Structure 1
Amino acid sequence: MTPEFAYFLKVNVAFILLYAFYRLFFYKDTFFKLRRTILLAFFGVSLLYPLMNIQDWIREQGPIVEVIQMYSAILPETTITPGNVPQTNWHDLLLSGISYLYWSGVIALSFRFLVQLSSILLLARRSEVTLIRNVRVHLLNKPAGPFSFFRLVFLHPDSHSEKEIDEILVHECTHVSQWHSIDVIICELVCIICWVNPFVWLLKREVRHNLEYLADDTVLESGYDSRSYQYHLLGLAHTNRSVTSLSNNFNMLHLKNRISMMNKKRSRSIGRTKYLIFIPIVGALLILSNVDALARITDELTESTFADVLLPEAILPFPFVGDASPAEKREEYVLSEEGIEAARRARNQVFTVVEVMPEFPGGQGALLKFLATNVRYPESAVKNGIEGRVSCSFVVGKDGAISEAEVIRGVSPELNEEALRVINSMPVWSPGKQRGKAVNVKYTVPVTFRLSGGKKKTSSRIVQRQIKEVDTSGRVFTVVQQMPEFPGGQASLLKYLATRIKYPAIAQENGIQGRVSCSFVVDTDGSLKNIEVIRGIDPSLDREAVRVIREMPKWNPGVQNNMAVAVKYTVPVTFRLQ
C-alpha cells in the first residue's frame, strides 16, 4: 500500500465515521451556528489527521505500554522470483483500471466545477447592477430562482412581490455576510477528491441544508411572519432553478426539511455540551492513524540499539589498607555509563542508563565504605609490585541482586579475583527504574590498584567531571527521529529492488532459494556504505543482493536532533523458485 493510498483510505474512513457521528448526535438539534462549525471541523480533521504523527507522544506515555519499540530499521521483505516466463499480473491491471477510473472522475468533476464558477462570474459581468433596499443586486434578465455567491446577489425582481423581495434580500444577505460560499467551495473541492465516497456527498448535503437553516432563522428573527414566509417558499417551489449548484439558492432544498426546522422547538442550551464528544472522536482517529506505532509494541522486541550518549563520570577515590604491608594503597573507583542500550529480544533486557539508576543501600557514601572495608590488596600482588586497573561489570537485577559479574579488562589473576569477590559479596541494591518499572541495569566499575608509600588518607571525596556535549559525528545509529528514505519513498524502494534484482541462473539450475539478509549504512550525505551480508544462503544470491544495494541512488539521510546522521538498515530479501 502506497503512502498516498493509505492517506486517501484514512480520509474516507474518517468521513464515514464522522457522518455517522453527526447523524447520531447533531442531526435534529437547532444549534445551527455550532453545527456549521462542527461540520467544517469534520472536513478539516478528516483531511489533516492522517498527516499527524503522535508516535513521539505515545513513547512518552508510560502507562500506555510497558516498552515502546522505536521505528524499526528492517524493511518489508522483498521476494524475488525468476523472471524467465513473463506472466500477466491481473492484480496490477485491476489497480491500474481503478486508478484510471478514479482520475477520470476527478477530471470530470473539476471541469464541471470550473464551468459552474465561470458561469457565475460571466453572469455577474453581463448582468445589470442596481440597489434594492440598499443592497447591491445583479438583475437576472429572465425568471430564475434568487441566489447568492460570495458578495454577489442575483434576483429577478419582476417575479416577486415587494414583501417577498424583502424576505429574499434578508435571506441572501445572511449568506453573504456570513461567508457561506466558503463552506460551499470547500464541500465541492472535497467531493471532487473523494467523489467515490457517498458519505462525502451526504456531508455536503448536510452543510448546504444547515446554511439554509441559518438564513431562514435570520429571516424569522428579523420579524417576518413564519407562516407567510413558509407560504412564500412553497410559492417558489416550482420556479426555475439557479444557474449553478455552487450558489446559495433560495429554494434549492426540500421544503419539508426547512419548514419542519422552522417550526421545531429550539433545543435546550444544555445540549451544546454533547459537541464535546467530538474531542475523543478526534483522539480515536489519531490513534487509529498511528496504529502502526502501537503494532510495534510486541512481546518480542526487534533487536536495535540506541545511539550512545556520553555521560559524566564520577570518580570516587578512597583509601584502604592491605593485609601484607603498612604502605598506603589507594583505589580509584570509577562509575561510567558509556551508553544507552535498549530493546533486546529477551524480556529481561539489560540497560546501561535508565531514568532512575540503581543505588547501593545507604547511597554512594555507604558504597565507598563497603568497598574500603572489604577490598584487600592480595599479598602476592604486593610482593610482586603488581598494580593497575581492573575493569569489572555487573548487572543489578530487577530485585536488586548482583549477577553476571565479570572482568572485562584485567591486570593479574589475583587482582581480578579480588575485585570479583567483593562485587559478588555486595548486598541487595535498590533496583534501577525505567518508565516507573524496575529493570536490569549494567554497571562498569574500573578499580585501580596502586602501590604507594605516602601517608594514609581516610577521607573520601567525589570529583564530578564536566559534562561533555553529545557528539554524533562518526556514530552509526540504528533508530533515529527521522529515518532515511529512498527517493520516492518505500514503494519506490520495493519497486527498485523488484526490477533490478535478477535471479542468478546458477541458483535456478541448482534449485537454490531462501532469504539473504543484508545490512548497509545510509551516510550523512545519503550515500550507502558498509554493505555486507549478515545472513547468506549461496554466494551467487549473496552477490546479487549486494550488487543491487551498491547500485542504489543516494537516499535522503536520517535526522537526529535536526542533524543528518548515519543510520544502519537491515534488508531481508527472499529468493523463491516458482
Structure 2
Amino acid sequence: MTPEFAYFLKVNVAFVLLYAFYRLFFYRDTFFKLRRTTLLAFFGVALLYPLMNIQDWIREQEPMVEVIQMYSAILPETTITPDNVPETDWHGLLLSGVSYLYWGGVLALLLRFLVQLSSILLLARKSKVMQIYDTRVHVLDRPAGPFSFFRLIFLHPGSHSDKEIDEILTHEGTHVSQWHSIDVIICELICIVCWVNPFVWLLKREVRHNLEYLADDTVLESGYDSRSYQYHLLGLSHTNKSATSLSNSFNMLHLKNRISMMNKKRSHGIGRAKYLIFIPIVGGLLIFSNIDAVARITDELVESSFAEALMPEAIQLPIQLFPAVNKEEPAEMHRGYVLSKEELAAIKRAEEQVFTVVEKMPEYPGGQKALLKYLASSVKYPESAMRNGVEGRVSCSFIVRKNGSITDAEVIRGVDPALNAEALRIINAMPEWSPGEQRGKAVNVKYTVPVSFRLANKHKASVSGTPAKGIDTSGRIFTVVERMPEFPGGQYSLLRYLSQKIKYPVIAQENGIQGRVSCSFVIGADGALSDVKVIRGVDPSLDAEAVRVIKSMPKWKPGVQNNMAVAVKYTVPVTFRLQ
C-alpha cells in the first residue's frame, strides 16, 4: 500500500466515524454556532490526523506493543509471482481501472465546480446593482429564488413584498456577514477529492443545513414573526433554486427540517459540554493512525528478514553470538524482530537524507552467510563479561553510506559496557557493504543489527549459576523482558528442530499454496508452552501444521524480568515456500 493511498483511506475512514459521531450526539441540538465550528473541525481533523507523527510515543507505551504486533499480523501479505511463471496481472489491471475511474470523477466534479463558480461571477457582472434598505443587491432580470455568495446578494425584487424583502435581506445578510460561503467552498472541494465516500456528501449536507439554521435563527432574533416567516418560506418553495449549489439559497429545500428547528425548544446550555467528547475521538483517530504506520513499517522490516529456505519452508530467527570456545556451532541472524524507535524513524542528516527502508536493502559483501562467518571469526567475548556471567542482546545501528562505508555506529539498546564495546568494535571493522538502492539510485540507509551474547553451558555453570532467583506467580504475561525466553540449546537448535519436525502438507504442495504463518504462544515461568494460536494464517493445512509443531516443542528456558522467571508472549513467523 502506497503512503498516498494509506493517507486517502485514513481520511475517508475518519469521515465515516465523524459523521456517525455527529448524528449520534449533535444532530438535534440548537447550538448552531458551536455546531458550525465542530463541523469545520471535522474536515480539519480528517485531513490532518494521518500526517501527525507520534510514533515514538506509541512505541514507548508497553500496552501498545501487543496491539502493534497483532495489527501487523493481520495486515495483508504481498504475493510475489516467480519470474518464470507467466501470469496476467489482473490485480494490477483492476487497480489501474479503479484509478482511472476515480480521477475521472475528480476531473468531472472539478469542471462542474469551475462552471458553477464562473456562472455566479458572470451573473454578478451582468446584473444591475441597486441599494435596497441600505444593502447592495444584484437585481435578477427574471423571477428566481434569492441567494448569496460571499459579499454578493442576488434578488428579484418584483417577486416579493416589502416585508418579505426585509426578511430575505436579513437572512442573506447573515450568510454574508458570517462568511458562510467559505464553509460551502471547503465542502465542495473535499467532496471533489473524496467523491467516492457517501459520508462526505452527507457531512456537506449537514453543513449546508446548519448554515440555514443559523440564518433562520438570526431572522427570528431580529423580531420577525415566526409563523409569517415560515409561511414565506413555504410560499417560495415552488420557485426555482439558485443558479448553482455554491450559493446560499434563501428557499433552500428541506424546509421541513428548517421549520422543525425553528419551532424546537432551545437546548439547555449545559448541553455544550457534550462537545468535549470530540477530544477523545480525535485522540483515538491519532493513535490508530500511528499504530497503523508503525505496524506497517514493522511488518515490512520483519518480512524482509525471513528469506533463507531450510526445507520446503523458510525460517530465520535472531542472531546468537557465542564465545570463541563455541565457534564450531553456526550462528543465525536477522535484522531483528523487536524494533526500537531508532530503527524505524526516518532521519535527516544536515546534508542528505538517510532512509530506514528502501527497495533494495544494503548487503554485506558475499551476502548473509559471509556476514555470519565474519562475525563468528571476529567477535571476542570480553573476559570481564565471561567472569561475571554477563550475557544478553546488544542492538547496534549504523548507516551504510552511498559508497558502502559504515558510519555512525551506535548502541541503541545495551547490556553491559564490555559487550557494548565489543559489538561496536566488530561493526566498525566491517568492510564496505553493497549500498541500498531507492528507485535505482544508491542511498544512505540506517541499518540495525541486534547481537545476542550467550555464554556456553560450561561457562554458565562455573560463573553465573541460575539467573532467575524466583518465579513470578502474579499471572502477568509480558511481551518484552530483560532476558527473552530461549529454546533449549539456542536458536540453532530451534532451527534444527523445526526443519526436522515440520512436514509440508501434501494438499498445500499439490495446490501450490505457500506463505507466512504467524503463531503466538505463551512461554510460562516454568518454560511450558500454552495458548498457541495462529494470528496470521495462510491456509488451514499450513496453519494446522505450524500449530502442531509448536505445541510439540519441549519446555523453553523462561524469560527473566527483575531476576524473576516470568511468562512471556512470543511470536514465531513461519514461512512456507515451495522450492
Q: TM-score when scaled to structure 1?
A: 0.55
The corresponding residue for 2:434 is 531
2:80 aligned partner: 79
Q: CA distance change for structure 1 residues 409 and 8 in 2, over 3 Å: closer, same or farther?
A: closer
1:135 is matched by which residue type in structure 2? T
* 1:163-205 alpha-carbon deviations (Å, 9 max, x no partner): 0011000100100010100000010011111111111111100
Q: CA deviation at 1:471?
A: 12
Q: Distance in 1 between matches of 2:411 and 2:233?
A: 68
Question: Separation in 2 of the partners of 1:177 and 1:156?
Answer: 21
Alpha-carbon distance between aligned partners in 1 of 2:411 and 2:576, rounded to the nearest angstrom = 26
The SS at the match of 1:474 is strand
Q: Is the 8 A contact 1:138 1:153 kept in 2?
A: yes
Task: Spell out, residue by residue over 1:7-46, the C-alpha distance to the aligned partner (whole angstroms, 9 max, x if none).
Answer: 1111111111111111111000000001101111111111
Distance 1:58 1:550 in 2: 29
- In structure 2, distance between residues paired with 1:81 and 1:252: 60
Match of 2:407 in 1: 474
Letter in 1 for 2:274: K
Counterpart of 2:188 in structure 1 is 188
Aligned length: 358
1:151-162 alignment runs, 5 A limit: 151-162=151-162
Q: Which residue of 2 aligns with 1:91?
A: 91
1:221–1:531 distance in 2 versus 1, CA, 3 Å: same
CA distance in 2: counterparts of 1:204 and 1:555, whole angstroms: 47
Are residues 184 and 441 of structure 1, via their aligned partners in 2, closer, same or farther at CA, if it must alter by over 3 Å? farther
CA offsets 1:89-127 (integer angstroms, 9 cap, x no match): 222222111111111111110000000000000111111
Once the two structures are TM-superposed, the CA of residue 67 in structure 1 deviates from its matched residue by: 11
8 Å contact from structure 2 (residues 398, 448) kept in 1: no
1:201/1:408 CA distance change after superposition, 3 Å: closer
How far is the alpha carbon of 1:237 from its aligned partner? 0.7
CA distance in 2, matches of 1:409, 1:116: 77
2:218 corresponds in structure 1 to: 218
Q: What SS is found at the alignment partner of 1:79? A: coil
Describe the shift of the 1:441–1:293 C-alpha distance in structure 2 as closer, same or farther (beyond 3 A): farther
Which whole-Å CA distance do the structure 2 matches of 1:203 and 1:21 have between them?
11
Q: Normalized per residue, which structure has more helix?
A: 2
Inter-partner Cα distance in structure 1 for 2:189 and 2:8: 14
| Secondary structure class of the residue paired with 2:277 | helix
Contact 1:476–1:566 (Cα < 8 Å) also in 2: no
- Equivalent residues in 2 for 1:255-294, closer than 5 Å: 255-292=255-292
Query: Quick check: 1:202 aligned with 2:202?
Result: yes
Question: What are the equivalent positions in structure 2 for 1:19-418 lying under 5 Å apart?
Answer: 19-61=19-61, 64-65=64-65, 79=80, 81-83=82-84, 85=86, 87-292=87-292, 295=295, 408=381
Question: Partners of 1:26 and 1:221 in 2: how far apart?
Answer: 22
Distance 1:169 1:441, change over 3 A: farther
Q: Which amino acid aligns with 2:257?
A: N
Specify the alignment match of 2:424 in structure 1: none
Matches of 2:398 and 2:337, distance apart in 1: 28
Superposed displacement of residue 253, structure 1: 2.3
Which residue of structure 1 aligns with residue 7 of structure 2? 7
Residue 290 of structure 1 aligns to a residue whose secondary structure is helix
Q: Is the 8 A contact 1:170 1:218 kept in 2?
A: yes
Question: 2:441 corresponds to which letter in structure 1?
Answer: K
Work out whether residues 237 and 253 of structure 2, in 8 Å CA contact, stay in contact via their aligned partners in 1.
no
Q: 1:215 to 1:442 in 2, by over 3 A?
A: same
Q: Report the AA paired with residue 262 of structure 2.
A: M
Match of 2:130, SS? strand
Equivalent position amino acid for 2:184 in 1:
V
Tell me, in whole angstroms, the C-alpha distance in 2 between the residues paired with 1:129 and 1:160. 17
**Offset at residue 286 of structure 1 (A):** 1.2
CA contact (8 A) 2:148 2:172 kept: yes
Q: For residue 178 of structure 1, what is the amino acid of its counterpart?
A: Q
Instruction: Specify whether residues 9 and 96 from structure 1 end up closer, same or farther in structure 2 by C-alpha distance, changes over 3 A only.
Output: same
Aligned residue number for residue 441 of structure 2: 554
Structure 1 or 2, whichever has the larger Rg, is: 1
Residues 9 and 442 from structure 1, CA distance in 2 versus in 1: closer, same or farther, beyond 3 angstroms? closer
Q: CA RMSD in A?
A: 4.3
Decide whether the 8 Å contact of 1:477 with 1:568 is kept in 2. no
Q: Which has the higher contact order (CA 8 A, sep 6+)?
A: 1
- Say whether the 8 Å CA contact 1:128–1:139 is kept in structure 2: yes
Give, in angstroms, the shift of residue 3 of structure 1.
Answer: 1.6
**Segments ≥4 residues shifted beyond 6 Å:** 66-69, 300-305, 343-347, 440-444, 470-473, 477-480, 549-552, 565-569, 574-578
- The answer for the alignment partner of 1:384 in structure 2 is none
